[in-house]
Amino acid sequence: MTAGGRRVTAYAKLTVVSTTPVKPGKAYPLSVLDHAMERHSLHIVFYYRPGPALDRARLKESMSELLTFFPATTGRLSREVEGGKRWVVKCNDAGVRVVDARADATVDEWIATATAAEERELVYWEPMGADPSIWSPFYVQITEFKDKGYAIGLSCTHMHADPTCAVLLFKAWADCHRRACIVNPPFFHPPALLPRPTPNPSAHLLSLKSSSSSAAVAAAAFPMFSATFRFTSAAVRSLLADLSPDFPDATPFDALAALFWLAVARARASSPAAAALTLVTDFRKRMYAPLPYGFYGNAAHFSRVEADLSEGWARAAVAVGRHVAGLEEEEYWSAIDWLAARRDGGAGAFQMYGPELTCVKLDHVMAYDAEMAEGVGPAHVSCWVGGPDVDGVVMVLPAEEAAARTVVVVLPAEVAKKVCRDEEILRHGPTVVFTGKI
């Protein structure tokens, strides 16, 4: 064991810059959606089993090559005008902070035994200080395991990237590492999400969030608990088979979102009638003129689905599925118009994840295509969002098997402990890892 019983030891911190300097004066304004995420950070851990392509020095070299294509990641935040509300990235090639660390376990031992708090030791993060011009919006921690496997933890401000964008950034790093072409190159164009010339602001959910955000943050002092549920492809097929008589077109996300929605309601012993769930979905490819998959920044939409949970899991899954399928482009633009009007009126950022239970659809992301060597992707990928959660966040992620899924929950401790023992979840045989208070 390491000193003090900790299994992760960080022993160095440095800055990695791009191989090609950025042209002087280059700047990147953040979009309206980017500004909305100011209260949140994003954290992703990619686990790799031992392999000849994994070498700490080579990882830093390929990162330097990667950053040439992502100048916004190496810049620093600044206000457009002194005392203004709008953020802009000054692309000054200040670099990305990198932390070197070691873990006292093999990769597989770690995944089987680490607590949620220990997993969070695999990412490094410093909140923005009083002077953003010296603050790195991106941090990378490279942790070597005893068997020469690695965990690579990526942290960033959510203003720079949503989970889809962050995964594409990491996947581009993997492409550079094995000296391949970047399959999904970054698309830097925040004007793609400018409010419309004739705005139609309508965002009831965001209005509720903004009005309850301060009270929610004040209430978030109680302990939170995290757990990761790993569903095999067979378990996912079983879930869908159980839903098939009532909802033959159900997706894995529909099934899992509804399953955990009901489990949280049971854990709270709350009235099942007229329950509501906030869903977070990516709209890059759902626009009439789709954004490139590599669009840099935030393209996540927050919406509200309601169901009578007393009618059971299948009806909840139907409500989730129909809601996601029925989202229309006007809803995305109305939310952008509303956020723009609020920002231009001088209002600050508020809590986007929470204060109500929030479920994030991320099973589309290409996390397991991040191959540091040809044909060898991650063994496991975890993701969570920083910022007060209050009612909690459920993230549905892909898994190593194509048809499998991973669900990461962050909930109030007493609720989470009951969810981890929920019979309806456990009868589908998930492996539960990375549990504990955070």
Looking up tokens 């098997």, which residue turns up? 401
In a 10 Å sphere around its CB, with 0-12 CB exposed, 13-18 middle and 19+ buried, how is residue 359 labelled?
Answer: buried
What mean pLDDT is predicted for residues 16-38?
93
CB 41 within 8 A of CB 128: no
> For 3-191, which CATH class?
alpha beta
CB 144 within 8 A of CB 253: no
**337's tokens:** 């118009």
Residue 272 above 70 pLDDT?
Answer: no
**152's tokens:** 């690579």
CB 356 within 8 A of CB 391: yes
Q: Which of 65, 48, 74, 61 is nearest to 152 (CA)?
A: 48
Residue 217 above 60 pLDDT?
Answer: no
* Same fold? 3-191, 204-378+386-437: yes
Q: Indicate the CATH number for domain 204-378+386-437.
A: 3.30.559.10
Domain ranges of the chain: 3-191, 204-378+386-437
DSSP state of 365: S
pLDDT grade, residue 81 (50/70/90)? low
CB 303 within 8 A of CB 328: no
pLDDT number for residue 310: 92
pLDDT number for residue 242: 96
Residues 235-253 have pLDDT tens digits of 999 999 999 999 999 999 9
pLDDT number for residue 1: 39
Rounded to two decimals, the pTM is 0.96
Q: Which of 206, 189, 151 is nearest to 342 (CA)?
A: 206
Q: Which of 110, 174, 107 is nearest to 377 (CA)?
A: 174
190 three-class SS: helix
